[in-house]
Chains A and B, each alone.
Chain A
Amino acid sequence: MTSSQFWMIWPGNAMASALILFAIAMPFLYAARKLVHDLFRSIGQTVGGPLRLAARWLFAAARDMKERNKAVLLAHGGEEVAQLIEREFERVGVLVTRDLEGYPALQRKLLDEITRVEEDYKKSGEVPPLPPEWTAAVSAITKVKSEGNEMVQRILEEINRSVNSIHAKALEEYRRAYQSRHKILNGFMPFWRSLDKTLGQVDKKLTGLENTSAAIDAQMTKYEQINKKTDKAEHALTVSAFTQFAIATLVLLIAAGGALINFKLIALPMSEMVGAGDYLTATLRTSEVAALVIIFVEATMGLFLMEALRITHLFPRIANLSEPMRRRILWISLTLLVILAGIEAALALMRDMLIADKQALVQSLASAQQAAPADPWLARIPTAGQMLLGFILPFALAFVAIPLESFIYSARTVGGATLVMLVRVSAFVLRVLGNLVRQLCKVLTTLYDVTIVLPLLIERMVKSARGGDAAESRPVRRAA
């Protein structure tokens, strides 16, 4: 008999042995029924209870965190909107100061121009005096009967001639008068144009003011909603934070690419300064760390520059500095940045020289025929490009401060929202597990009863038989 068959009552027949063992064990299982049921119940309570408790605690923690996140988000959003409103008011102030200061002069100019236009208009309306009223005389003469009288004929001819000459003179005078009026009207044009321009300027300024007022109105509405702590405001701020986070991450990734290029530019020449054989870790050379430090220092100087320019607000201490001190920091960081950019340009040049030297050495070591040297002008283009890149990249890196600020501020909201979500998911999973354990214990209890179904049936039969006997004996007793 092998060790795996020791339990077999009927050697070689596992099924029969198992059935016999089961039959032997059944009375004991029946006897232990209540205990086993209690055990399953207590296991269900012991495991499921803490899980449900933990789930409840996590849900409460998630609620608290959400509230805290909301408070922080609304406070930060309120601060931002307040700053925006302040800036808009500053703009309005500048507009009002600039435009209303010049408004009396503008009004005077407008009035002057209107007066001149009125005067000119009046002048253009003045018509030359009408010719003498000789039409009545002409009509009287026309009534004179000449009847072939030569004298009368001659007089009429004379009158005709005089009338014609006077008519021509009057016509000429009339034309001249109209000409002068046209000239006056022509002279109107610059005034009209000037008037139109001045009114256009006024209109533009007023429109600008109107737009700024509309922007202030929109910001004020937002501010009111934030102050009321509405869900809409919270949602809008959360969405805005997520968008900011995504954009800032993208820009930071691009900046990281720039920093990597920068690193490649200066890592090799740094080995000329700090040596190429020193290692900080198994794979990290000291020269590489030195190059990284230079890049980080540049980024830090850029950060200080942006802070001193009040573009970013990561360091309240810098923002609260007095104006002369702020300017001093601004100039110091700018000077250091320029110096570092110069150093980078020099390092880029050195890199090119080192590579050329190494190339020459490798060519001289190789047995193959040396390649013809490239055109010196062509060779200088990459050198100049590298130097230019080395000079520009530190300044480009300086602007990393702006997305970095957005990233840090939005990361608080995004991180908080993600954490809340994770805690909620954990709570849900724990709750499900708790319920699962309790249900599993119930299933196991039922399964246990299924295994000992025979003793249970017998028990039921015995009970029903006793019940029948008791029912039969009861009337007898009553009768007795």
Chain B
Amino acid sequence: MIKRLLVASLLASVAAVSSCADQRSHSHAVYMLVDTSGTYAGEINKAQLIINYLLGTLQPGDSLAVARVKSRSFSEKDIVAKVTFDNRPSQANAQKRAFRDKIDAFVKTVGGSAYTDITGGLIQGSMFLNETGAGTKTILIFSDMQEELDKATIRDFPFKLKDIRVVALNVVKLKTDNIDPRRYMGRLEAWQKRVEGAGASEWRVINDIERLDALLSKG
């Protein structure tokens, strides 16, 4: 009797485990926009620290892309490096080393741009993240969040950031913000409204790069 019960429970547990195998993706995809406009290009070393943190934190199977924000950023050419880490930890570590080398090279050669097209970068980032099919998608914007577009660039249309977390990093205060702090707060509020209006699952601002543990965790 006991034997039959044991066999039955074993079969039931195997059946239960196989039937409830989680088909959802548990991987994490991160798209980091790095502002390289003239006013912000000096902060690139901080961006490198954040990328290194991401490389140390992301797991096998996760995806990471780093793109620059220039005068017009809605282009694959602006992606500095992108990778989907192998499922095997050893291979993933090798890929992380290669990624770090690419970023090092980028940091050494980066130059300032005249305008800052954050919206274009967001649209490009959302497309990349949706293609990865990851379970958790995050766009990190390393910028002062001051968008400046040339006259020919059109970005004032609705776009979709559904199920994507958006985190603004190191949003430094501009000289004008120091004169009137309401400008800074207004800028952040405007971005929050825009991002949440686009369907983003979360909006967060992290200015202290010593507290990066909140970068990938949902608030």
Contact = CB atoms under 8 A, between A and B. Distances in A.
A281 B89 contact: no
B22 A272 contact: no
A282 interface: yes
B156 to A, nearest CB: 39
B56 interface: yes
Contacts of B52: 365-367
Contacts of A278: 87
Contacts of B17: 280, 289
Contact of B27 (A277, A354, A408): A277
A357 B90 CA distance: 8
Instruction: Please indicate which of the listed interface residues B20, B22, B93, B97 has the most CB atoms of chain A within 10 Å of its own CB.
Output: B22
B15 interface: no
Contacts of A276: 59-61, 87-89, 92
A276 B60 CA distance: 6
Contact of B56 (A275, A315, A361): A361
A407 B96 CA distance: 50
Contacts, number: 72
B87 A358 contact: no
Interface in A276-301: 276-282, 284, 289
Interface string B106-133: 0000000000000000000000000000
B59 A277 contact: yes
Given A357-B93, A361-B56, A361-B97, A277 B87 contact: yes
Contacts of B53: 365
B49 interface: yes
A278 B87 CA distance: 8
A171 B214 CA distance: 117
Determine the interface band of chain B, counting residues with CB < 8 A from chain A. Answer: 20 to 34
A284 B26 CA distance: 11
B179 interface: no
A226 interface: no
Interface in A235-283: 268, 271-272, 275-282
Nearest to A314: B3
A412 interface: yes
Given A277-B87, A354-B90, A361-B96, A271 B60 contact: yes
Contacts of A153: none
30 contacts: A268-B89, A271-B60, A271-B87, A272-B89, A276-B60, A276-B88, A277-B59, A277-B87, A278-B87, A279-B22, A280-B20, A280-B21, A280-B22, A282-B22, A282-B24, A282-B26, A284-B22, A289-B17, A354-B90, A358-B89, A361-B55, A361-B56, A361-B93, A361-B97, A364-B100, A365-B52, A365-B56, A366-B56, A408-B2, A412-B2
Closest 5 CB pairs of A and B: A277-B61, A275-B87, A276-B60, A365-B52, A279-B22
